[in-house]
Chains A and B, each alone.
Chain A
Amino acid sequence: MKPVEKICISCPVGCHLSIEMNHGELLVKGNACPRGVDYARIEMTEPKRMVTTTVALTEAAINRLPVKTDRPIDKDKVIALCKFLRTVSFKAPIQCGDVLITEILGTDVNLVATRSV
Chain B
Amino acid sequence: MNNKYDVIVVGGGPAGLAAASEAAKNSGVRVALIERDAFLGGILNQCIHTGFGLHHYKEELTGTEYAHRGIMSIEASSVDVYLEAMVMSIDEGHTVTLISQTLGYVKLWGGAIILAMGCRERARGSVIIPGTRPSGIFTAGTAQRYVNIEGDQVGKRVFILGSGDIGLIMARRMTLEGAQVLGVAELMPFSSGLTRNIVQCLEDFDIPLFLSHTVVKIEGETRLEQITIAKVDADYRPISGTEKTFACDTLLLSVGLIPENELSRQMALEMHALTRGPVINNLMQTSMPSVFACGNVAQVHDLVDHVSEEAERAGKHTAIFSKTVVPMLEKAITVETDDAFGMVSPQKLVRFDFENQPLQTAALRLRVKKPYTSAWLVIKSGDVQLMRLRKNHLTPGEMVHIAVDLNAMPLESETIKVYLEV
Main secondary structure, interface of B, reads helix
CA distance A62 to B67 in the complex (A): 16
* Stretch of A21-29, A47-55, A102-110 on the interface side: A47-55
B64 x A96 contact (CB < 8 A): yes
Q: How far is the CA of A75 from the CA of B199 in the complex (A)?
A: 13
- Pair B148/A9 contact, Cβ less than 8 Å: no
In chain B, positions 170-224 with a C-beta closer than 8 Å to chain A are: 176-178, 194-196, 198-200, 203-204
Q: Report how far A43 CA is from B419 CA in the complex, Å.
A: 40
B151 within 8 A of A: yes
A63 within 8 A of B: yes
User: With A64-B148, A64-B149, A66-B62 in contact, is A78–B200 under 8 Å at CB?
Assistant: no
- B62-A68 in contact (CB<8A): yes
Q: Which residues of A contact B148 (CB under 8 A)?
A: 54, 64, 66
- Cβ contact within 8 Å between A52 and B50: yes
In the assembled complex, the Cα of A82 lies from the Cα of B177 at a distance in Å of 7
The reply to whether the CB of B38 lies closer than 8 angstroms to some CB of chain A is yes
Q: Is A13 an interface residue (CB 8 A)?
A: yes
A14 within 8 A of B: yes
Query: Contacts of B204 on A, CB cut-off 8 Å?
Result: 49, 75
Contact of B195 among A14, A82, A114 (CB under 8 A): A14
Q: Which residue of B lies closest to A62 (CB)?
A: B149
Residues of B with C-beta under 8 A to A75: 204
Q: Does B150 contact A (CB under 8 A)?
A: yes
What sequence of 0s and 1s flags, for each residue 26-49 of chain A, a beta carbon within 8 Å of any chain B beta carbon?
A: 000000000000000000000001
How far apart sit A13 and B194, CA to CA, in the bound complex (Å)?
A: 10
Q: Which of B48, B196, B200 contacts A114 (CB 8 A)?
A: B48
Closest to B197 in A: A9
Size category of the binding interface on chain B? 20 to 34
> Is A83 close to B, CB under 8 A?
yes
Q: Chain A's nearest CB lies how many Å from the CB of B272?
A: 27
Whole-angstrom distance between the Cβ of A11 and the nearest chain B Cβ: 9
- Give the contacts of A62-117 with B (CB-CB under 8 A): 62-64, 66-68, 75, 78-79, 82-83, 86, 96, 114-116
Smallest CB–CB gap between A65 and chain B, Å?
A: 9
Task: Report Cα–Cα, A7/B199, bound state, in Å.
Answer: 7
Q: Which residue of A lies closest to B48 (CB)?
A: A66
**CB-CB < 8 A to B196: which residues of A?**
9
**With A12-B398, A14-B195, A115-B45 as contacts: A63 and B62 at CB distance below 8 Å:** no
Interchain CB contact (< 8 A) of B150 among A7, A13, A63, A114: A63
B146 vs chain A, min Cβ distance (A): 10
Whether B150 pairs with A64 at a CB distance below 8 angstroms is yes
Chain A nearest CB, measured from B332 CB (Å) = 32
Evaluate contact between A64 and B151: CB separation under 8 angstroms.
yes
A9 to B51, CA, bound (A): 13
Q: Apart from A52-B50, A115-B68, what 15 extra A-B contacts exist at CB < 8 Å?
A: A6-B199, A7-B198, A7-B203, A12-B393, A50-B50, A51-B176, A53-B177, A66-B62, A66-B64, A66-B148, A68-B50, A114-B64, A114-B68, A115-B45, A115-B67
Please report A residues at the B interface, Cβ cutoff 8 Å.
6-7, 9, 12-14, 49-54, 56, 61-64, 66-68, 75, 78-79, 82-83, 86, 96, 114-116
Q: Which 6 A-B pairs have the closest CB atoms?
A: A14-B195, A63-B151, A66-B48, A9-B196, A115-B64, A64-B151
A–B Cβ pairs within 8 angstroms, 13 of them: A7-B198, A12-B194, A12-B393, A50-B50, A52-B62, A54-B48, A54-B147, A54-B148, A61-B38, A62-B149, A62-B150, A66-B148, A78-B176
